[in-house]
Every structure is written in C-alpha cells, then in structure tokens.
Amino acid sequence: MNKKYNVAVIGVGVVGVEMLRVLKERHFPVARLSVLARSARNINVDGVTYPVQAISNEAFEGVDIALFAGTEGEKGAAATYASEAVKRGAVVIDNGADFRMDPKVPLVVPEVNAKDVKKHKGIIANPNCSTIQMVVALWPIYKKAGIKRVVVTTLQASSGAGKSAVEQLKEENSKIARGGYASVQADVENKSMPQQLAYNVFPHIGGFSDSDYTSEEWKLVKETHKIMYDDKINISATTVRVPVRTGHSEAIYIETDKCISPEEAKDILSKSSGIILVDDPKNNLYPMPKDAEGRDEVFVGRVRKDPFVKNGLWLWVVADNLRKGAATNAVEIAECVISS
C-alpha cells in the first residue's frame, strides 16, 4: 500500500500541465517525477517549478508509469518513444490517437471499462476528450436499457486544439474589442485553427475523411464502439468548435432498446460514478462549461423525452476537456494500473 512509483509526464502543453496538477491533487504515489519535452527548460505550474528534460530513450530508464500528453491530430511523442519506454519496464498511458484503435491496446474510461487495464501489454490508450464524457454519461443508461442509436453534436472549446488555439481566441477577442472585427482573422499572430473562432462557430475539428465526416466525428463512433464492446450502436456525430476557453458540451440524442423515462434516467445518472446531475431548467440550472472548468466530473442535465419517439431521450453533457477529457482520465487509468 505504501509503494511509490517513478512517473514521467511527456509534454508540457495544456494537457501535460494538467497532468502535473492532477498527479499532485490526487496524491498519486510518486517516488520520482520526470517531465520530458522536446527541449530542456524549467516550467512553473501553480507556483511549483518543474525542471524539464529533453526527451530521449535513456530518459525512460527506471520509469514505472509514462503519461504521454499527446497532440490531437498529429503523431504524438508516443509514436516514437512508447516502445522504448515499454522496453525499459514502463506502462505507457497515451493521450494521443496513435494507439487507440490498435486491437492489442486497451482503450479505457475507468467508469466504463476499468477491467480492460489488466489486458495491457505495456500500452494503454486514453480516448478522445469528447468520447470520454459521452461514454461516461451513456454507460449507466446502456446497462439499464440498452442503446441502439446515438446522434451527438459536440460544442468543443479552443483548449481542445492546444495552447496556440487558446491564444488565437484571446487575440481575436482583443482585436474585436478594439474595433477590428473586419480584419481579425488576417491579423492574428497565433492562428492555429482553420477559421476565426471569436464571435463564431465552425463544424470542422480534425481532417475530413470518410463520407465527409471529420476524423473527430469518426473518433466518437469508433472509440465508443470499442470502449462499450458494442459496434451495433448506430452513432452519428457533428463536431463544432466554439469560442469557449475550456469545457466541451454535447447535445446527445439516444434511442434505447427498452423504454426508460426521463425520471428513471435522472435517477440512474445521479447515482453513477463520476457524474453530477444538474437538471432544474425552470430555475436556470443546467451544466455549463464555465462551471465544469477545473472539475473532474461529467455534468449531465436537460434530460428529456423525445415527444415523437417512444424510446428517445435527450441529454446535455459537459466536462472539462483538459481534465476528465484528458489528464484526469489518464491519471485514473494509472491508479487502476497500480491497484490491479
């Protein structure tokens, strides 16, 4: 029970920084902490200075748990270094997309399939942020009533695209506030997204691929099938970038196999691990990203029946994409690893 572990965090972007916070907040039993990135330097997180080492194969010597922060839409550091870390005895938990659909690699959300951690062969994948919060909300209902169809629209914050996207939003807002709306997109220095985000939304996250769906939309389909062990669920998704700093929101429509009332669904959700039910719309109480920021729970509200489809239900789901959608879920996987 008192054993401690040598932990490495790879990457010091927005997710890597959150991993450092979460490890500290959850009192993960760390013996030695290594922070690795492309170049050596010091970073400061909440008043604590962390020395950053330049990443190398040798940096993984003696590491027990390697948390790769990952970079959505790109080949992450895990593609290069995961196998070297595993060779040296580490369990790799990767937040990037490189291993998620590998049949030999478990894709884990602890509230749903924690037992899959035991199947790892050195690498465990952390799902996409939008997938994590959706399956946390769907799983309790799926166990009770089954789910045959999901239609989801995500409203995803700028931080899901990294620090540069947050800076783009900030810069655009500043320019618009000074009266520069007409030229805001052309003038920003930190342009990492394909469209202006301030005072705007656009349905483009990831690259366009099969059937004109984006890669982000296909992640919601394929990752959910893998995590829930059910590829018969019909899932259709639209992913939208919105001018929010942190916190993804999702409007989720489901059709269940068995009829379940909104009241039954609320009762199930309110008693489920990792979920906070906020559902009192008459008093303006429902999940919002500003309230989810900095929290590790998935917030669910606006649970209501489809008046035209017997087994149809709507859910509104919100979570901090940097924490439960990335860093916290990764650390929770690490907790499962050391307890299994």
How many beta carbons lie within 10 A of that of residue 168, not counting itself? Answer: 23
DSSP 75: -
Tell me the C-alpha distance between 279 and 299, whole Å. 10
* Residue 47: burial class (beta carbons within 10 Å; 0-12, 13-18, 19+): exposed
List all residues 6 or more positions away from 42 whose beta carbon is below 8 Å from its beta carbon. 49, 50, 51, 52
Backbone angles phi, psi at 194, to 5 degrees: -75, -15
One-letter amino acid at 283 equals N
Query: What's the gap between Cα 234 and its chain centre?
Result: 22
Q: Which of 129, 204, 259, 336 is catalytic?
A: 129
> 203-223 burial by CB neighbour count: b if 16+ within 10 A, else e?
eebbeeeeeebbbbbbbbbbb
Q: Per this entry, what is the length of the chain?
A: 340
User: What CA–CA distances, in Å, run from 340 to 104, 126, 127, 131, 164?
Assistant: 19, 17, 20, 24, 38
Asked if 129 is an active-site residue, the reply is yes
Judge contact between 23 and 331, C-beta under 8 A. Answer: yes
Q: Which of 204, 248, 259, 336 is catalytic?
A: 248
Tell me the C-alpha distance between 205 and 73, whole Å. 9
Tell me the C-alpha distance between 65 and 340, whole Å. 14
Concatenate the DSSP letters of all residues of 154-173 into one string.
EEE-GGGG-HHHHHHHHHHH
Report which of 48, 60, 47, 53 is spatially closest to residue 12, judged by C-alpha positions: 53
Q: Strand 48-54 relative to strand 41-45: parallel, antiparallel, unpaired?
A: antiparallel
Residue carrying the six token digits 């017997």: 310
Asked if 248 is an active-site residue, the reply is yes
Report, as residue numbers or ranges, the catalytic residues. Answer: 129, 248
